[in-house]
Structure 1
Amino acid sequence: MIAPAEPILDALSELFEDDYESVVIYGDVDGETVLHEGPATIRANGWVELPSGRLLSPEAVHHVDTYPGA
C-alpha cells in the first residue's frame, strides 16, 4: 500500500521549520514597518507563523531579524 503524499510532505516540512523565541519581522526595507516582535516560527515554505496562529505570507515580510538566546 502506498501512503498518501500530503501527510509525508507535511512531516518532512516540519523538519525544516525554525522556531525562534525573539524576532522582529519587518514589512519594508528601511525597517520602519514592524509587523511583529516576539516568538515566531518560520516555515519551510517561507510563511511565518505567529504564536496566535496567524500566518504572514512571504510577500508581506521583507526581512526577519533573529535574536538567538533572547
Structure 2
Amino acid sequence: MIVSTEPIWEEVTDEFAQEYQDAVVYADLEQETILHEGEPRILANGWVKLPTGRLLSPDAVHHIDT
C-alpha cells in the first residue's frame, strides 16, 4: 500500500478555484472601499487569495468586478 505524505485536499480544491487577471475586490455595495485591484484567486471555500499570499475572508468581501 502506498500512502502519500502530501495532503490531497489542496489538489482537489485547486480544480475549483477561479483566477482573474484584472479584477477589483470591494468591501461594500457602494464601491467606496477597495480591498484589492489586480489578480485575485477565489478559492473553493470562498476565501480570496491575493498574489501576496494574503487571504480575504468571504465575510469581508462584498463583491468582485471582473
TM-score interval (norm. to shorter): 0.7 to 0.9
What percent identity do the matched residue pairs reach? 55
Post-superposition offset of 1:29: 1.0
| 1:1-70 aligned within 5 A | 1=1, 7-66=7-66
Offset at residue 15 of structure 1 (A) = 0.2
CA separation in 1, counterparts of 2:2 and 2:16? 24
CA distance in 1, matches of 2:26, 2:53: 18
- Matched to 2:10, the amino acid is D
1:28 partner letter: D
TM-score normalised by structure 1 residue count: 0.82
C-alpha change, 1:61 and 1:13, in structure 2 (3 Å) is same
Structure 1 residue ranges (4+ consecutive) displaced by more than 4 angstroms after TM superposition: 1-4
Amino acid at match of 1:38: G
- 1:50-70 deviation per Cα after TM superposition (whole angstroms, max 9, x unaligned): 11111100000000011xxxx
Structure ranking higher in helix proportion: 1
Gap runs ≥5 in structure 1: none
Shift of residue 32 of structure 1? 0.8
